[in-house]
Chains A and B, each alone.
With several copies, the nearest count.
Chain A
Amino acid sequence: MTDPAPRSSPRPAAEPVAVHVLLFSVLRENIGQPALQVDVPHPASVAALLEILEARYPPVASYRSVLRVAVNQAYAEEEAPLTAGDEVALITPVSGG
């Protein structure tokens, strides 16, 4: 028996997922930008994005335990998958009202 050649060759790596990350209030101030473009390797999830941001931006790391994430304007779980072009917002504890 021989394995079919095409299956044994390395599969072409999936494209990283490019997402648009919005920052508000203290994070925008501490990072110094209102938004970031981030490429998340496949399979992209909220948790994977947060890992990247945490490593790259100390303010994200310091708020990590209280941070919520919205994907396309709705709160999302950390397991939620990301798709190219998603609008992701980092939500530190809110204080409206």
Chain B
Amino acid sequence: MAARTFLRRTDTTWVQVTPEVLDTAAADAFLRTGQAGGVVLFVGITRRFTHGRETVKLSYDAYVPMAGQEMRRLASEAAQRWPVHRACLLHRVGAVPVAEASVVLGVACAHRAAAFAACRWLIDTLKAQVPIWKQETYADGSTEWVEGQG
């Protein structure tokens, strides 16, 4: 049985892949530091309607240990590109009901411009690089593996 969780947490970086509900408040608390003036959080949520089709369930498959390593790599790369004080990258796997979070990415920087840029880069790059796949289950019972733009 392949690993279903990944967790590395230091004082400055928290990376986790887990089948459990993601805790935005814990992410926010982790990111708070007297050094940072701006925290930007991105929360990805299971949407009920996509192009008019109703989704009843999203399920995420992941190559968990590599996904965790890639997310750590993204955190380091973000910290090289922007003055990031703290970052968290949390991704849920398995079933994610509508309106629950599949991903929580957060960045704390001294100034807001860097925090926005780094958080946006993290989600864009995660969606292109991290080995996680989304399967939609539609209201008509059909399922589909969503393919990203690479």
Contacts and interface: CB of A to CB of B under 8 A. Distances in A.
Interface of A: 22, 24-26, 28-29, 34, 66, 70, 73-74, 89, 91-97
Nearest to B122: A97
Interface centre among A26, A73, A96 (most CB of B within 10 A): A96
Contacts of B131: 24, 70, 89, 91, 94, 96
A97 B102 contact: yes
Contact of A95 (B69, B123, B147): B147
B31 interface: no
A25 B143 CA distance: 12
A95 B63 contact: no
A94 B130 contact: yes
Interface stretch (B7-15, B20-28, B77-85, B132-140): B132-140
A16 B67 CA distance: 29
B103 A97 contact: yes
A26 B123 CA distance: 23
Contact of A94 (B2, B69, B102, B127): B127
Contacts of A29: 145
Interface of B: 2, 44, 60-63, 65-67, 69, 91, 102-103, 123, 126-135, 145-150
Contact of B63 (A26, A70, A97): A70
A70 B127 CA distance: 17
Contacts of B145: 25-26, 29, 92, 95
Contacts of B130: 94, 96
B4 to A, nearest CB: 13
Given A97-B103, A97-B123, A89 B63 contact: yes
B63 A22 contact: yes
A85 to B, nearest CB: 16
Given A70-B63, A96-B131, 12 more contacts: A24-B131, A70-B66, A73-B63, A73-B65, A89-B63, A92-B147, A93-B149, A93-B150, A95-B127, A96-B62, A97-B127, A97-B134
